[in-house]
Amino acid sequence: MPTARTHMHRIYTRRGDRGTTTATRRDRRGKDSPRVMAYGSLYELNAHLGLARAAMAAVEPPPARSAWDSLYGGLEEIQHRLFFVGRDLSQSRGLPDHEPPLTVSEHVLRLEALVDQLAADTPPWRPFTIPGGSLAAGHLFVATTVCRRGETLIAALHHQEPVPDAVLAWVNRLSDLLFVAARFVNGVEGVVDPPLRDPLDGY
């Protein structure tokens, strides 16, 4: 009779015990290589987006829900897309058997459309403000910084090995979206962006 253990996939393989990992079937690299660091940063970002969506789910949505629903559903779509962007980053363009990118310019345009929709329902930004406000917005501000850090790692990889243009543009646009999204959520929840204090005040 089969047991639960029979159907479990083994989590550990021991193949990474010496500090390497498999990027693709024929490409094994150090875990600190620019390529692994680049696509690894997207897993961290994905986790923060999961937190942001969980925090949004706990908020009473506004009566006019169009932009709110677009953001909530859009973040889930982005979580899926991050896996495909990671796949694009894991593939070295220098290998003869690399596959075409799954991220294309159309995906960048979709992000831009969501940015425009949210910006239309968000008060104009008045520099400078500090990250904060509601819990959901706080998670989105953190996601913004993680995305921008990931973008720098992807740029560093691109200086050594080519990265598809659409991937570079998509991650750049995503950081814009997440910043706008944080401010949009604050606006929906009636929270004013915390203004930056006078430089002579406080600590």
Residues 47-75, mean pLDDT to the nearest whole number: 94
pLDDT confidence tier of residue 4, bands split at 50, 70 and 90? very low
Residue 175 scores a pLDDT above 80: yes
Residue 110 scores a pLDDT above 90: yes
CA 125/CA 176 separation, integer angstroms = 13
- The pLDDT, as a whole number, for residue 145 is 97
Grouping H, G, I as helix, E, B as strand and the rest as coil, residue 19 is coil
Residue 55 scores a pLDDT above 80: yes
Of 12 and 123, the one with more pLDDT:
123
Q: Which of 141, 136, 147, 137 is nearest to 175 (CA)?
A: 147
Q: What percent of the chain has pLDDT over 90?
A: 60
Predicted confidence (pLDDT) per residue in 22-38, tens digit: 454 455 455 457 788 89
Q: Which of 145, 127, 146 is nearest to 194 (CA)?
A: 127
State both tokens at 78: 């982005």
> What ranges do the domains of the chain cover?
30-188
Q: Are 191 and 134 in contact, with CB atoms under 8 Å apart?
A: yes
Long-range contacts of 20-27, Cβ-Cβ distance < 8 Å, separation of 24 or more = 23/90, 23/91, 23/92, 24/90, 24/91, 24/92, 24/95, 24/98, 26/95, 26/97, 27/90, 27/91, 27/92, 27/95
Residue 54: φ, ψ to 5°: -65, -40
What DSSP line would sit under 80-118, residue for residue? HHHHHHHHHHHS-TTSTTPPPPS--HHHHHHHHHHHHHH
Residue 202 scores a pLDDT above 90: no
- The pLDDT, as a whole number, for residue 6 is 47
* Average confidence score pLDDT of the chain: 85
Grouping H, G, I as helix, E, B as strand and the rest as coil, residue 195 is strand
Q: Are 92 and 24 in contact, with CB atoms under 8 Å apart?
A: yes
Residues 116-120, mean pLDDT to the nearest whole number: 96
Question: From its phi and psi, is residue 150 left (phi > 0), alpha (psi between -120 and 50) or beta?
Answer: alpha
- The pLDDT, as a whole number, for residue 15 is 52
CA 122/CA 124 separation, integer angstroms = 6
Of 109 and 92, the one with more pLDDT:
109
- The pLDDT, as a whole number, for residue 13 is 59
Residue 108 scores a pLDDT above 60: yes
pLDDT confidence tier of residue 172, bands split at 50, 70 and 90? very high
Residue 129 scores a pLDDT above 60: yes
- The pLDDT, as a whole number, for residue 2 is 45
Q: Which of 135, 118, 140 is nearest to 55 (CA)?
A: 135
Highest-pLDDT range among 50-64, 82-96, 102-116: 102-116
- CATH superfamily label, 30-188: Cobalamin adenosyltransferase-like (1.20.1200.10)
